[in-house]
């Protein structure tokens, strides 16, 4: 499903300015920033910071809980941002604009770096620290993050059971179901390779995309051929950019598991799973599998 693009602030909220207007204002201000506004503060109209800062409602009086809550919210925003870049990449791939995909893929890889750096805000947390507010989270778990599932679905990790928790949230469930039944980024890459002369079997291209793609030797062989070519070949550059994204996402999963180990060891999860053991199984699902396995054959 093509999702609506990021909502722009309404024209009455943010007034555009020309370079000339900016220069005039700076001259009038004598080098100091503007301090008087007639309407809403323009920064807030655009960033909606006042709304954003009203969204933190800790459940305990524990001073550490705020960093757990805000870090989770920051990660949610990064998940959404990553989805945005992956969808843009799909749009360009479908139009055969291969070199243009470098920009959104680079942005996605950098967002994943930012996302991974956010784990630092939780490195202070020992099991005793977490236990001070853990019970108050009840059954709440990142496992129930719809946006994380969107990232997974876009990257080609597809397990219909994982969208079941959202059945009672009609809109969220409809979006996830649509994403499950739409081609993943990897499906788009395979279609691209086939359009550009790589011999991929029809059963691979015509499969039900709701089912997770199974690694195929023909895809692996295509990547081996591509990587044997010129270093500046557009498909090879695409392969490397996709590898960056897969690695960044893999880093998030690894960092998460380490954070879990640090803060609760192998205890059972708040979301009802076995905890660490369940997460380790979940991590075994590989993003863009043939891009990794092909390297053994190069
Ligand atoms: C250090 C604090 C954290 C602990 C102890 C923790 C613990 C867990 C556990 C045990 C699970 C398995 C499901 C279950 O709850 O039974 C899980 C899953 C998950 N958590 Fe966390 N988590 C932490 C921080 C976070 C943060 C900050 C996020 C960001 C939003 C997050 C996102 C997720 C996601 C997306 C899953 C599902 C992973 C998958 O499907 O493979 N977690 N977490």
For 111-146, the DSSP string reads: HHHHHHHGGGGGTT--HHHHHHHHGGGTT--GGG-H
Question: Residue 15: its pLDDT value, please?
Answer: 85
Cβ of 146 less than 6 Å from ligand 1: no
List the pLDDT tens digit at each of the 298 positions of the chain: 444 455 555 655 788 899 999 999 999 999 999 999 988 899 999 999 999 999 999 999 999 999 999 999 999 999 999 999 999 999 999 999 999 999 999 999 999 999 999 999 999 999 999 999 999 999 999 999 999 999 999 999 999 999 999 999 999 999 999 999 999 999 999 999 999 999 999 999 999 999 999 999 999 999 999 999 999 999 999 999 999 999 999 999 999 999 999 999 999 999 999 999 999 999 999 999 999 999 999 9
Question: What is the pTM for the complete model shown?
Answer: 0.95
Residue 8 is predicted with a pLDDT of 55
Question: Which residues are within 8 A (CB) of 294 and not within 5 positions of it... i.e. 6 or more apart?
Answer: 220, 221, 223, 224, 227
Q: What is the per-residue pLDDT for 39? A: 86
Question: Any residues with CB less than 8 A from the CB of 68 and at least 6 apart, and which?
Answer: 122, 125, 130, 133
pLDDT at res. 1: 42
Nearest residue (by CA) to ligand 1, atom 4, is 260
What is the rounded distance in angstroms from the CA atom of residue 83 to the CA atom of residue 3? 10
Decide: 256 in ligand 1 pocket, CB within 6 A: yes
- How many helices and strands in the chain, by DSSP H and E? 14, 0
Left, alpha or beta for 156 (phi > 0: left; psi -120 to 50: alpha)?
A: left
Nearest CA to ligand 1 atom 30: 72
Residue 198's CB: how many other CB atoms inside 10 A?
17
Ligand 1 neighbour 148 (Cβ under 6 A): yes
**What is the pLDDT at residue 2?**
44
Task: Indicate if ligand 1 lies below 6 Å from the C-beta of 121.
Answer: no
Q: Which of 256, 258, 284 for a ligand 1 pocket mutation test, highest count of atoms within 8 Å of Cβ?
A: 256
- Residue 273 CB contacts under 8 Å (≥ 6 apart), including other chains: 141, 143, 279
Model pLDDT, residue 9? 56
Domains of the chain: 64-297 (1.20.58.480)
Measured between alpha carbons, how far is 259 from 256 in angstroms, rounded to an integer?
Answer: 5
* Structure-block tokens of residue 248: 């960044």
Sign for the CA dihedral angle at 89, 90, 95, 98 comes to positive
Q: Which atom of ligand 1 is nearest to the CA of 276?
A: 10
């Amino acid at each position: 499903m093509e999702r609506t693009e990021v909502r722009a602030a309404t024209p009455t909220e943010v007034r555009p300015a020309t370079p000339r207007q900016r220069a005039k204002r700076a001259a009038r201000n004598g080098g100091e920033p503007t301090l008087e506004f007639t309407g809403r503060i323009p920064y807030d109209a655009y960033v909606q910071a006042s709304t954003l800062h009203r969204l933190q409602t800790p459940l305990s009086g524990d001073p550490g809980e705020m960093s757990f809550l805000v870090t989770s919210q920051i990660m949610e925003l990064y998940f959404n941002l990553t989805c945005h870049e992956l969808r843009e990449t799909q749009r360009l791939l479908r139009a055969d604009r291969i070199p243009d995909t470098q920009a959104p893929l680079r942005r996605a890889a950098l967002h994943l770096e930012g996302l991974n750096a956010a784990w630092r805000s939780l490195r202070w947390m020992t099991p005793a620290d977490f236990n001070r507010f853990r019970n108050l989270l009840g059954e709440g778990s990142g496992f129930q993050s719809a946006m994380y599932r969107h990232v997974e679905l876009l990257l080609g990790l597809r397990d219909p059971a994982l969208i079941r928790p959202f059945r009672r949230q009609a809109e969220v469930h409809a979006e996830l179901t649509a994403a499950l039944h739409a081609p993943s980024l990897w499906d788009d890459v395979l279609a691209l390779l086939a359009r550009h002369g790589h011999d991929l079997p029809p059963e691979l291209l015509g499969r039900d995309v709701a089912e997770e793609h199974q690694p195929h030797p023909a895809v692996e062989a295509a990547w081996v051929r591509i990587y044997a070519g010129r270093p500046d070949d557009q498909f090879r550059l695409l392969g490397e950019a996709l590898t960056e994204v897969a690695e960044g996402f893999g880093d998030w999963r690894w960092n998460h598991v380490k954070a879990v180990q640090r803060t609760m060891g192998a205890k059972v999860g708040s979301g009802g799973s076995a905890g660490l053991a369940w997460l380790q199984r979940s991590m075994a699902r590989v993003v863009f599998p043939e891009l990794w396995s092909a390297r053994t054959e190069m």
